[in-house]
Amino acid sequence: MSPAPDERARIRAAMDRILGGTAQHSTGALTIVALAQEAGVPRNALTQRHLDLKNAFYAQVRARGQTPDSEIRLRRQIVKLKELRAKDAAELAQLRTDVAQLVRVVNQLTAHNRQLLHALSQPDSSVRALPTQPSPGRSR
C-alpha cells in the first residue's frame, strides 16, 4: 500500500498540534504512537518511511527541554529492574550463606552419626538402638 500524497504534510501538522498542546485525535503524548494517531497514519509510516520526521519530532521535544514519554517510561522501567536486580542479589547472597551453614550442619550430623554407629557396633557398648516405628501408610 503506497502512502497518501499528503502524508508528510499531515505528520507535520500533527507535530505542530502535539507540540502546541492542541492535539485533536490523540492523547497528545510525546510519542510516535500518538503522533501517528494524531496524523491519521500508521505508526510504520514514521518508523519506516519518514524517519526524518520522527527524528525531527523527537529533536523538537528535546529542544523544548521535555523528555519523550517513551523515554520516561523506559527510565522508570530501568529503575524498577535495577531494584529487582539488587533484591535478587541480596536474596542470592542470603541463599549462599544458608547453603554453607546447612552443609556444615550436615557434616556435623554425619560425623555424630558415624560415632554412634561405631559405638553401637562395639560388643560392650552402652548405646542401644531404639525400635523403629513403621511410617504412616506402610504395613509391616
**pLDDT reported for residue 13:** 95
Residue with cell 516405628: 133
Is 61 within 8 Å of 68 (Cβ atoms)? yes
Mean pLDDT over residues 89-114, rounded? 96
Is 35 within 8 Å of 26 (Cβ atoms)? yes
Cell numbers found for residue 74: 523506559
Cell numbers found for residue 107: 557434616
pLDDT in tens, 60-82: 888 887 777 777 888 899 999 99
Instruction: Report percent pLDDT > 90 for the chain.
Output: 51
pLDDT in tens, 45-64: 888 989 999 999 989 888 88
**pLDDT reported for residue 2:** 67
- Across all residues in the chain, what is the average pLDDT? 88
Per-residue confidence band for 100, with pLDDT thresholds at 50, 70 and 90: very high
